[in-house]
Structure 1
């Protein structure tokens, strides 16, 4: 195999990655039906982005319908907390990608101090060295941001940034299809259900973490693994744990 057939240092071939990328687009397209679970969709998206774009972690922030962002999906507790820190500071690359409706790239954390000093001070111990954020947008409306975090410096290539943006665009269309856009109340309710589901998932993570004496990342992994093995919605598994109908 020639060097040109490889992508990155992990030895994953370009052909393999392109196949995975196409599979992700197909999976997103499959959600263009009634009854899909928004949380599952967004969690799948952040998981795939970590695999596809050599990121350490990924997360999604979503507008709660009142002009306020909330962390709705993440691949680790660390990436969730980084999102929360940005929301608390009211600034940061992920917040800017949403507000400006464009991709924001930070190739080295030293850039944070000049651009977002409050967030930089609060996130100094995160361990992330670079961040790339793209908006979840529909036409001129931005609904949130899809964010990739890496432990080494450097920025996504233009081609990878375009691919991440394309995934974010398809995910946004999946959430707010034309039939939903024609029914504002339905769209608002669907987004609110996703946000409510995230609260229950956080509660379930805490319960599993305490009960099994594991950290929050491991607790979430066990919830997700159970949901996938039983072909259940993550939010339904979390609800069963909170209501003490399920023990992991």
Structure 2
């Protein structure tokens, strides 16, 4: 069987997710996971929610700004597929969204908001560390057929590749240490969101574009995204971020 372009993209994605240096930025790694899922599975958007140190569900990252808002609203109302997927520890869905269907009964706040944003179905697969659930990789589709069992198996494989890299590259010993690393990522996300907002207002660009510029600058300078974001919030912008 000939190798296709998609086969090559999958191989590149797995290699990228599993060969980061030991001090790689965890938030950057997991954001790349959401981008690969969008590109390779064909969903409208993807995001990650995780368990914090006291067992609460927290938003960590998403493939785009609109999905970030949908994820954060689920945390606020304590309902939705991202919340259920994170707490349940098992694949969820796919679930078709309908104002008169089961989803409206399960998620009365989330469902109409998602439908208004053009989302027609949702699904989630667990993120696991040392066999225990540490979060969920959440998927939303728009106007496309429901994801198939093979789609979810493929998505789970990508998620497993990323979490395996986190465990082994950081020489973590148990689930608690993985959650501690995720807590650090949650803390850094707050600073990154502030930096995105500053760049967006300064240059009149979208938050998605501001985040892209932040990531490019961090990689160019070989520094952690959180470190660069902290510098930006303190007014210390590198040249490439200071100009339009």
* 1:181 lines up with 2:145 in the alignment: no
For residues 185 and 165 of structure 2, the distance between their equivalents in structure 1, rounded to whole angstroms, comes to 13
For residues 195 and 64 of structure 2, the distance between their equivalents in structure 1, rounded to whole angstroms, comes to 15
SS at match of 2:188: helix
For residues 115 and 182 of structure 1, the distance between their equivalents in structure 2, rounded to whole angstroms, comes to 33
* 1:67 lines up with 2:55 in the alignment: yes
Q: What TM-score, normalized by structure 2, do the two folds share?
A: 0.86
SS at match of 2:5: helix
SS at match of 1:127: coil
Q: Kindly state the Cα deviation for residue 225 of structure 1 after the two structures are TM-superposed.
A: 2.8
Q: Kindly state the Cα deviation for residue 67 of structure 1 after the two structures are TM-superposed.
A: 0.9
- Is the 8 Å Cα contact of residues 59 and 79 (structure 1) preserved in structure 2? yes
> Which residue number in structure 2 is paired with residue 239 of structure 1?
230
Measured against aligned partners, the alpha-carbon deviations of 1:77-109 in whole angstroms (never above 9, x if no partner) come to 111011111112212112222222111124532
For residues 112 and 149 of structure 2, the distance between their equivalents in structure 1, rounded to whole angstroms, comes to 29
SS at match of 2:43: coil
> Which residue number in structure 1 is paired with residue 11 of structure 2?
22
Structure-to-structure mapping, 1:1-248, within 5 angstroms? 15-31=4-20, 34-110=22-98, 111=101, 112-138=103-129, 140-177=131-168, 179-182=171-174, 184=176, 186-246=177-237, 248=241
Q: Which runs of 5+ in 2 are unaligned?
A: none
Instruction: Note the aligned Cα RMSD (angstroms).
Output: 2.4
Greater Cα shift, 174-183 or 79-88 = 174-183
For residues 140 and 95 of structure 1, the distance between their equivalents in structure 2, rounded to whole angstroms, comes to 19
Q: Kindly state the Cα deviation for residue 165 of structure 1 after the two structures are TM-superposed.
A: 0.6
Greater Cα shift, 219-228 or 155-164 = 219-228
Name segments (4+ residues, structure 1) moved above 4 Å. none
Greater Cα shift, 81-90 or 146-155 = 146-155
- Is the 8 Å Cα contact of residues 57 and 76 (structure 1) preserved in structure 2? yes
SS at match of 1:176: helix
- Is the 8 Å Cα contact of residues 136 and 146 (structure 1) preserved in structure 2? yes
- Is the 8 Å Cα contact of residues 132 and 155 (structure 1) preserved in structure 2? no
For residues 39 and 154 of structure 1, the distance between their equivalents in structure 2, rounded to whole angstroms, comes to 30
* Count of aligned pairs: 235
Q: Kindly state the Cα deviation for residue 143 of structure 1 after the two structures are TM-superposed.
A: 0.7
For residues 81 and 172 of structure 2, the distance between their equivalents in structure 1, rounded to whole angstroms, comes to 29
